[in-house]
Amino acid sequence: MNLAFLRRYEDGNPSLKTHVIVYLFALLIPVLLIINAFQADKFTKLRDEVEDMQKEQVEMVEKNRELISEISVLSSSDRIERIAERDLGMHKAKKEEIVRVEIKSK
C-alpha cells in the first residue's frame, strides 16, 4: 500500500509537492516568529543600553562643565595672590627687592 501511494505521487501528481511545500511553510512560520521575537528582545535591550549611555554622556558633559568652572575659579590670579599673602606670608616684591641674574653662555 505504501508503494502504491508513492508511485501515485511519482507519476507527476503535484499534490505531494504542494503538501510538502505547505508543511514546510507551516513549520517555517513559527520558527521565523520565534527568531523575530528574539531579535525584538535584543533590539529592546540594545536600545535601552544606548539610552543609558546617552544619559551618562549628558551627566559627564555637565560634570565636565562644572570642573572647568572650578578650574577657572581655582586658577584665578586674585585667588592665588590672596592665598600666597594670607597662608604663605608672601607679598609682592618691591622694586628694590628684585634681583636680576644673567647667565652668560660660553
Encode pLDDT of 25-73 as tens digits: 899 999 999 999 999 999 999 999 999 999 999 999 999 999 999 999 8
Gyration radius of the chain over CA positions: 41
Residue 1 lies in a domain: no
CB of 64 closer than 8 Å to CB of 58 = no
Range of the domain at 34: 13-83
Residue 5: the pLDDT is 52
**Which range in 3-7, 21-25, 31-35 is most confidently predicted, on average pLDDT?**
31-35
Residue 42 lies in a domain: yes
Nearest to 82 by CA among 71, 73, 95: 73
CB of 79 closer than 8 Å to CB of 73 = yes
Residue 98 lies in a domain: no
Residue 17 CB-density burial (10 A; 0-12 exposed, 13-18 middle, 19+ buried):
exposed
The pTM score is: 0.53
